[in-house]
Structures are given as structure tokens and as C-alpha cells.
């Protein structure tokens, strides 16, 4: 398992245990997981963003912390927020992270997430010129989300 996945899993467990809000001391978490503090920063800035349904606050200094709060909103609102956050292009890794977050938040069920992952994965775009893949992936993802919204 990659260290970024381990850090993500640890933070997600804290969020679950603490009802959607986790206060993290970066150095302590890094020591516990056996990584450098910058890896904690990387995970937080890439996987716990407002677009993915999180608010991140930090306080520097000796008693400093990073507080991550999971935003709760109606399903339709969350899905529309994801549609709006996708942008013009979507790389494979970002799509995987978004799908994982959607699954964790019960915005999609496992069979739907698997089907979406298949449609967003690398094999689906093998015959598409590289310069168009991420743009096409973004369009497909948005259309799938809109279809889900319209069928619920």
C-alpha cells in the first residue's frame, strides 16, 4: 500500500471515529505512520479538498493542528457540487479519488462505482489521442453524475 493511501485511510478512520471531524497534529501522525510531515500535507491538499466535501483549517505554532471536517449536504447537492468541481479535464487518478470519496459517502453504491471506474479507467481511452483523454474523461464523468442525479 502506498504511503499516501495509508495516510488517507488513517484520516478517514479518524473522521469516522469522531463524527466527521478530525483534529490532526501533523508531526505526530507522520511519526505514527513512519513518513515525513510533507506527505501528510500532500494527502490533505490533494484528497481532502472542498470539491471532495471537506473543510480544512490549520493553526500553526507549538499547539498547532489541522482540522478536517466532512461537509454534509443532501445527495443531489453533493453530486452537483462534484459535477461543478470537475472542470474541463479530469485525469485518471483524480477520477479514482473522486469515485472513492463518493463511495465512502454513500453517493453511489459499489456496483455503480465499479461501472463508473471502468468507464473512466485507462483502458477505455486507449484508442483516444493522449491530448484528448482527460477532456473526454471529464465529459463522461459529468454525464454519468447528471444521469445519476436525474434517476434519483
Average pLDDT over residues 9-17: 92
pLDDT at 117: 96
DSSP for 121-134? SSGGGTTS-HHHHH
| CATH code of residue 16 | 3.30.56.130
Alpha helices, DSSP H, located in the chain: 3-17, 26-33, 37-47, 75-86, 92-104, 110-120, 130-150
CA distance 141 to 59: 36
Average pLDDT over residues 120-145: 95
Structure confidence by residue, pLDDT tens digits, 63-101: 678 999 988 888 888 888 889 889 899 999 889 988 988
pLDDT at 146: 95
CB-based contacts of 80, cutoff 8 Å, min separation 6: 149
Do residues 97 and 132 both lie within one domain? yes
pLDDT at 63: 61
- What is the value of pTM for the model shown? 0.66
Number of domains in the chain: 2
Structure confidence by residue, pLDDT tens digits, 29-50: 999 999 998 899 899 988 888 7
β-bridge pairing 54-59 and 21-24: unpaired
Q: What are phi and psi of 29, to 5 degrees?
A: -65, -40
Inform me whether the pLDDT recorded for 109 exceeds 80. yes
Q: Which residues constitute the domain of residue 130?
A: 75-150
Do residues 100 and 33 both lie within one domain? no
Of 70, 94, 126, the residue that ends a domain is 70
Do residues 79 and 140 both lie within one domain? yes
Amino acid at each position: 500500500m502506498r504511503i499516501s493511501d495509508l495516510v488517507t485511510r488513517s484520516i478517514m478512520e479518524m473522521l469516522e471515529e469522531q463524527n466527521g471531524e478530525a483534529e490532526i497534529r501533523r508531526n505526530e501522525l507522520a511519526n505514527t505512520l513512519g513518513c515525513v510531515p510533507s506527505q501528510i500535507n500532500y494527502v490533505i491538499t490533494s484528497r481532502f479538498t472542498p470539491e471532495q466535501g471537506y473543510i480544512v483549517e490549520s493553526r500553526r505554532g507549538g499547539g498547532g493542528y489541522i482540522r478536517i471536517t466532512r461537509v454534509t449536504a443532501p445527495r443531489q447537492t453533493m453530486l452537483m457540487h462534484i459535477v461543478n468541481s470537475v472542470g474541463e479535464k479530469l485525469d485518471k487518478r483524480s477520477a479514482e479519488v473522486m469515485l472513492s470519496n463518493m463511495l465512502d459517502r454513500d453517493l453511489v453504491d459499489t456496483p455503480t462505482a465499479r461501472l463508473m471506474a471502468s468507464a473512466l479507467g485507462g483502458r477505455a481511452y486507449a484508442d483516444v489521442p493522449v491530448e484528448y483523454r482527460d477532456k473526454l474523461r471529464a465529459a463522461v464523468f459529468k454525464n454519468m453524475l447528471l444521469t445519476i442525479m436525474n434517476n434519483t
